[in-house]
A and B are shown apart, each in its own frame.
Chain A
Amino acid sequence: MLALYFVLIGARIRSQMQYKFSFIADFFATFIGMGLEFAGTLVLFTHMPALGGWTLPEVALLYGTVELSFALANMIAEGFDSLSNVIRLGEFDRFLLRPRDVFFQVLASEFAMRRIGRVAQAVLVLGAGLWLLQADWGLERWLFLGWTVLGGTVFFIGLFVIGATFAFWTIEGLETVNIFTHGGVTMASYPLNIFAEWMRNFFVFVLPLAFVNFYPALFLLEKPDPFGLPGFMPFLAFPLCSLVLFVGAAFWRVGVRHYQSTGS
């Protein structure tokens, strides 16, 4: 199955690389354009020494990890992002006819190479942050950082799957999911402790966004938990992020069973 995935994705990537000029133009557009989002934070830091007790390099670590996770998830889960179009055009039936798992097919149907610009700017900000922090970490912390990014990617793929599944009922995609995906990224780009209590509680206890980067960053930077929760919280990060994908996959199965074809 994994081999098949790489065959299909490889074909996708090659086809997107056919238009070299437009690929490069798109890369720089996204790289610079998305990077300007962080320029906003830089401007704010010219007026203050730290934000909610977090210095600029520390905020760069938060921003870099969540952006990287989100951009990777966006690349991988593109098939789910465009699912509502597939359903509306009545093309989803085709997936059901093939002798492979539907979830796998949708996952392997698209790979958004064009999002690489966003990945690159996230890596740049993350790298700059780590460099300014002069992170003198042992191997286990570097591994933990990689593990964190992976967890965040799994988390956002889970959210994309949940968002896409609604399309089985509503045909149109559900725009409110943007609050959790794009809103989640924006929120997680800043220290969670600057937001209102109800928002924090929601993103710690209901949707575990806090575990995408905030708790892992507390561990990496050896900062005390502003909410006074137990010290093992950072280590729940990966399991909780996986849980989101697990819930998404379960919801997906319900959605597929509910699918009624459209079109004529």
Chain B
Amino acid sequence: MLYLALFQKSFQRMMTYRAATLAGIATNFFFGLLRAYLFIAVFEASGQAQIAGYSLKDAITFTALTQAIGMPIAILQWWWEVMRTIRSGEIVSDLTKPFHYFGFWLARDLGRAAFHFIFRGLPILLFFPLFFELRWPDSLAHWGLFLLSVLLAVLISFCWRFLINLSAFWFLDAMGIGRFAWLTMTFFSGFLVPVAFFPDWLRYVVNLTPMPAMVNTPIEVYLGIVQGTELWAALGSQLAWAVGMGLLCEWVYRRGVRRLIIQGG
């Protein structure tokens, strides 16, 4: 099947950057350690065993997990590919090919995300226990739910990036918009600090957006902070965001193509 092949090729393409992968693991690992020591100091200074429902062990696991899923969710590295093809006019050749445009990029992005999860994410989780004790999911089903939540987070992140990339249909230079979308993601998704730590008003506002569904939700699923009906509600809300944003992508794309003007040629 075409999309499966695209997924595979994208995965294999990533395999060729061996040195970059190793360097990336080292960098993510270092950042993970930095942030872990930061949270240790925060807990020490707060004089409390728990902050907003997180124990110190939870917070340290949070630092490892964010570094591990940061690449699959493309929060550590923004994605400009669609914007680039619109600007260069290469998009014309993609439009003439018999595939679903959104599906084409999604399949490729999932291939990239799968590679990053296995080769950039798992090593962080494997090496982190050399420095700190981590919390681990207590059953296979728990692991499964975490993986499902990560997959949904990747889908939402993809839709978000795809939408922002499509702004290039309307603006010749949408780099600023892209950079803004990317940098806001790192804070509002709960990547830097768990959303639970936010002041009430900010947490309320952030929860109206899809941001926490990209990082905060998978982490809370992993840590068991959401359980029972809350857990299903969290996964359900992720699914709703993924479907809703996917449909929005398709709609915006169709409108964008209608106004597409290819310059030069």
Contact = CB atoms under 8 A, between A and B. Distances in A.
Instruction: State yes or no: do A and B come from one complex.
Output: yes
Interface of A: 19, 21-22, 24-30, 32-34, 36-37, 39-40, 43-44, 46-52, 170, 172, 174-176, 178-179, 182-183, 186-187, 190, 194-196, 199
B176 A29 contact: yes
A199 B86 CA distance: 45
Contacts of A182: 27
10 contacts: A19-B173, A22-B171, A26-B176, A29-B177, A47-B197, A48-B42, A49-B45, A174-B23, A176-B23, A194-B40
Contact of A48 (B37, B45, B193): B45
Contacts of B45: 48-52
Contacts of B26: 176, 179
A51 B41 CA distance: 7
Given A44-B193, A47-B51, A194-B41, 7 more contacts: A36-B192, A47-B197, A48-B42, A48-B47, A182-B27, A194-B38, A196-B33
Contacts of A26: 175-176, 179
Contacts of B93: none
A22 B173 contact: yes
Interface of B: 19-20, 23-24, 26-27, 30-31, 33-34, 37-38, 40-42, 45-48, 51-52, 171-173, 175-177, 179-180, 182-184, 186-188, 192-193, 197-199, 202
**Lowest 8 CB-CB distances: which A-B pairs, in order?**
A33-B183, A25-B176, A29-B180, A194-B41, A175-B23, A40-B192, A48-B45, A22-B173
B184 A183 contact: no
B176 A32 contact: no
A175 B37 contact: no
A48 to B, nearest CB: 4
A146 B198 CA distance: 34
B42 A40 contact: no
B182 A178 contact: no
Nearest to B40: A194
A51 B184 contact: no
B179 A190 contact: no
Given A29-B180, A183-B27, A43 B42 contact: no
B197 A44 contact: yes
B183 to A, nearest CB: 3
B187 A39 contact: yes
A172 B20 contact: yes
B27 A29 contact: no
Nearest to B45: A48
Contact of A37 (B33, B47, B187, B199): B187
Q: Most A CB atoms within 10 A — which of B24, B176, B179, B188?
A: B176
Contacts of B31: 183, 186
Given A32-B183, A179-B30, A43 B199 contact: yes
B27 A33 contact: no
Contacts of A28: 176, 180
B199 A22 contact: no
Contacts of A19: 173
Nearest to B176: A25
Given A51-B45, A172-B20, A46 B199 contact: yes
B179 A29 contact: yes
B27 A176 contact: yes
B76 to A, nearest CB: 10
Contact of B177 (A25, A52, A194, A195): A25
A52 B40 CA distance: 10
Nearest to A29: B180
A213 to B, nearest CB: 16
Contacts of B20: 172, 175
Contacts of B176: 22, 24-29
Given A22-B175, A52-B45, A187 B34 contact: yes
A24 B175 CA distance: 11
Contacts of A174: 23
